[in-house]
Structure 1
Amino acid sequence: MRKYSKSIAIVLVILMFATAIIGCSSKSNKDAASSSPTAGASESPSASASASASTETESNTYPENGLPKDQEVTLKFGFWEAGAGREGIDFAMKSFSDKFPNVKFDTTYSPDIFKLVDTKIAAGDDNDMFDIFTAGGAANLNQLVDEKKLEPQEDLWDRDAYDAPGKKLKEVTIDGLYTGAQRYNKVSYNLPDSGWTGGLYYDKAFFEKNGWNQDPKTWDEFIALLDTIKAAGVIPITYPGVYSVYLEFGFGPKNFEIAEGNGNLDAFYKNYKSFGTPWYTAPETKEKWNRIYEMGKKGYFPDGVAAINHTQSQMQVMQHKAAMVVTGSWVQNEMKDATPEGFVWGYMGVPAKNADQTTWLRNGVQGGINIWAAKPDLNKKWAKEFALWLMNLDVQKAAVALSGSIPVRKDFGDDPARLDALQDAPKAVTAYTSQHKVRFENQTQDVTLTDPAWAQSDKTLADAIPAITNGKKDPGPVLEAAEKLLETALAKQKK
């Protein structure tokens, strides 16, 4: 069990679990200059040449990593420009090139970078492929690993952090990041450099004006709040039905919370993490979706939600057409150009219990890079150095201030100025978690399924979510259909 937080500093330490990954560059050996053992004798030509060669070698390599200073390298970078924007990664690239001026970046920014990555992979042209791309930016990372298309980064965990000599990366990152990192065959293939927390985000000023409860502590209080909001002619909760899995950012781990309330957490947790069946039709998961269905029948979600995208749903809250939006802690940064004067981001988790119990919150890590294996060795070594560089405190601070992310360095909170860099939305998260008993869950599994039936089962539920939240589709048959597809994937996995 993860302990609930009691201060902002602790929150920063426990805010995420992990999906991480890392790799390392080798350190060069330096030749020791030899001198004549005879006192007063001059160096022989060969000894002088050796000393000169050693000095030249040292001067032409960086002491931090042993890589050459005089070889120009350009890393082609495919960056996913989404809610966090590009300012944080731009700071990281500029500071890296300032430190290592022989390394440049040729960056492609796109909200559809994952599709572009898959297109390049399908084309099979390693020269045209990105050297590095935002982690997760491929349809089937497990297959790429099996085909040795991605560069391992596991060894970076044992490298010293650039700004903390003598301390390994796994020692300076938040508790659980290293041990809980998502790996393939016990190897990491990307390094997550920031985190996020999902839930319900809203305008504090709007809530205060209407006298609405900003801190419902039980399911009954939560439903009472939604009734009050709906009675005022405002949509209680919106979310992007175009990307329906966003709903899970607010309601995803509620089945864990229900299981804990029923005294069945250990068995449910083990079953969930290992794809034990029943999975979709586990009683706790069915109850979660039945509650959402009942909310839909009461009109707590927008009509026509299936056509609403993420920015439109967030604009509904900014325009006070909706009271709360299901999204992640990056929301303030994503909507910074549209935020009206006087708008202050607030945050609440969904309490799925009616007792003094833990509230489960969806969280995760983001950022980091995958490295294409079929690239020159020097490019791959510099790519690993950049992966390590993203963990520097100044880079983390820039990501917090410019991208709205949550840091993954455990010493980030040692400096109050760094804490002040947090945007209002992440600050609202830390305030909530410091005042409540919470547990974070990333909803990942310990088992990897590769059969297409697994993806089909996931899509079956995702496609039905808008109709469920509009009260038009009973989730029971949907969950049963998804369960059958999962069973097919599990059976094929065993063969």
Structure 2
Amino acid sequence: MNPESLHRPYPTRRSLLRTAGAATLAAPLLSACVTAADDDAPADNGGGAKSADNPLGVKPDAPLEVVVFKGGYGDEYAIKAEQKYTEKYPAAKIDHKGLQKVGEAMQPRFVAGNPPDVVDNTGAGRLDIATLVSAKQVSDLAELLDAPAFDQPGKKVRDTLLPGVVDDGTFGGSTVTLNFTYTVWGVWYSKSLFAERGWAYPATWSDMLALCETIKKAGIAPWTYQGKYPEYINDPLLTMAAKIGGLDLVKAVDNLLPDAWTQPGLTQAAEAFAELAGKGYLMSGSEALSHTEAQAAWCQKKAAFIPCGSWLESEQKDVTPAGFDMVMGTVPVPAGSALPVTAIQAASSESYLVPAKAKNVAGGLEYLRILFSKESATAFAQANSTLPAVAGATEGLTLSSGLGSVRDAVKAAGGDAFNYRFRTWYAPLAKAVDDATGELVNRRISPADWSTRIQKASDSLAKDTTVVKYTR
């Protein structure tokens, strides 16, 4: 996912791009040969009678094919939802596929007009959702969102989701994906290390730089990052920019405005991270590290800070030392910023869709109704130390240090949560931004060059009439 992309879906994201047990950056896939779904009607959309117990009209004996990205979260949570489906529709045969390269496996099936009924479109090389949308290859999920929640009487599915989840899957006014996890991006550190050294997590960027000097003198690298995938270091930079410039800056970027990347918020954030690198506060050799290598070095306390999304604790669970107590801090900001330090960049990820040409669209929608139940989301949170997209899913749970810090950050942010959409809408621009930030923090381009380079990529995309544009 983002990186699972991804952000973002980052990630999505995440877009959040997730590989097996990890997050990495890769381009999404989809052949230009995909035809519009209108060209060939689906063979069977379910066709069952609707009732209070069957609000989506599932045909009880229709087979159901579910394809799930088997990455850091595994696929057991999805299988449990399938078991619930089978309890309700015992005559329905379920074909489950847990894959690590969803895009590679699904691309030919979408092109051939024979997709499965549900796809978890996540992971490196996932299908490009914008291309699927323009080709009318995905179902509108409005009927699902307005259906009764599976285990919360009196609520619709849409009413059970955290803020922004519906918007994250909306293209041109239609919600076509529903994301199962809720990702927050921040800066991670070891609570026990900081307590041992008497360090306090900084609220302002000047405090961050002062603490980095202290950390460096203690013989520890202040920061490391997943150098082979510069999206990771890009996240706190863009978060800082949004906090400095406010939501108008985020909208300008997403709307491909001609002066978006030259706004003071973005140039100040680029200067801040250039200074972080220039003062030697990035661990030597970070540029060459994969996500697993950088995160392992951080867990070994070779570096104090690492930027990452809230999947980090789950991803590191097998290698994190006892008593490390990782927690996520929000991105520090310069004084006078438009948004408070508690503001967060957050988005839903782990992106589920129901193909328009699926043989059992109604069954696919019903499966998602079950998957997004509170019971399902709570079990997922317990198993994966990750915040689900369903509100209240962690109520009453004893949370790990990492997940607890993420939940607390979401509560503290309140309405000050934001997310860039350009990653999901325009994959080429996302890559251009990540590449430029990689060059910036490795001191090969200046902040001014960073801004100019990305604005040029944005302007080129804005002028490309072959690319469907979205606005917010």
Q: TM-score normalised to the size of structure 1?
A: 0.76
Query: For residue 358 of structure 1, what is the aligned residue in structure 2?
Result: 340
User: Is residue 192 of structure 1 aligned with residue 213 of structure 2?
Assistant: no
Query: For residue 230 of structure 1, what is the aligned residue in structure 2?
Result: 216
Query: For residue 417 of structure 2, what is the aligned residue in structure 1?
Result: 440
Tell me, in whole angstroms, the C-alpha distance in 1 between the residues paired with 2:145 and 2:130: 21
Residues 114 and 224 of structure 1, relative CA distance in 2, 3 Å threshold: farther
Residues 101 and 337 of structure 1, relative CA distance in 2, 3 Å threshold: farther
**Identity, % of aligned positions:** 22
Query: For residue 58 of structure 2, what is the aligned residue in structure 1?
Result: 67
Query: For residue 169 of structure 1, what is the aligned residue in structure 2?
Result: 157
Gaps of 5+ in 1: 1-15, 31-60, 260-264, 450-454
Residues 267 and 108 of structure 1, relative CA distance in 2, 3 Å threshold: closer
Alignment length (residue pairs): 423
Residues 233 and 98 of structure 1, relative CA distance in 2, 3 Å threshold: farther
- The letter of the residue matching 1:429 is V
Q: CA deviation at 1:400?
A: 0.8
Query: For residue 105 of structure 2, what is the aligned residue in structure 1?
Result: 116
Residues 67 and 491 of structure 1, relative CA distance in 2, 3 Å threshold: closer
Query: For residue 478 of structure 1, what is the aligned residue in structure 2?
Result: 450
Query: For residue 229 of structure 2, what is the aligned residue in structure 1?
Result: 243
Gaps of 5+ in 2: 1-11, 16-44, 468-472
Bigger radius of gyration: 1
- The letter of the residue matching 1:82 is G
Deviations 1:76-134 (A, max 9, x none): 41x2233333333233233333333333443333443234333554xx3344x433221
User: Is residue 283 of structure 1 aligned with residue 302 of structure 2?
Assistant: no
User: Is residue 386 of structure 1 aligned with residue 367 of structure 2?
Assistant: yes
Deviations 1:210-235 (A, max 9, x none): 2222x212111111111111112212
Tell me, in whole angstroms, the C-alpha distance in 2 between the residues paired with 1:218 and 1:388: 42
Q: Say which is worse superposed, 387-396 or 101-110, in terms of deviation.
A: 101-110
Query: For residue 436 of structure 2, what is the aligned residue in structure 1?
Result: 464
Q: CA deviation at 1:383?
A: 0.8
Q: How does 1:15-414 map to 2 (within 5 A)?
A: 28=49, 63=54, 65-69=56-60, 71=61, 73-77=63-67, 79-118=68-107, 120-121=109-110, 124-127=111-114, 129-135=115-121, 138-178=126-166, 180-213=167-200, 215-259=201-245, 265=246, 267-354=248-335, 358-359=340-341, 360-376=343-359, 379-412=360-393
* 1:329–1:404 CA contact under 8 A, matched in 2: no
Residues 159 and 390 of structure 1, relative CA distance in 2, 3 Å threshold: same
Q: CA deviation at 1:163?
A: 0.9
- The letter of the residue matching 1:211 is G
- The letter of the residue matching 1:371 is V
* 1:26–1:65 CA contact under 8 A, matched in 2: no
Tell me, in whole angstroms, the C-alpha distance in 2 between the residues paired with 1:119 and 1:292: 42
Q: CA deviation at 1:336?
A: 1.3
* 1:190–1:370 CA contact under 8 A, matched in 2: yes
Q: How does 1:446-457 map to 2 (within 5 A)?
A: 448=425, 455-457=427-429
Residues 199 and 63 of structure 1, relative CA distance in 2, 3 Å threshold: closer
CA RMSD across the alignment: 3.2
Q: TM-score normalised to the size of structure 2?
A: 0.80
* 2:190–2:326 CA contact under 8 A, matched in 1: yes
Tell me, in whole angstroms, the C-alpha distance in 1 between the residues paired with 2:302 and 2:263: 36
- The letter of the residue matching 2:453 is A
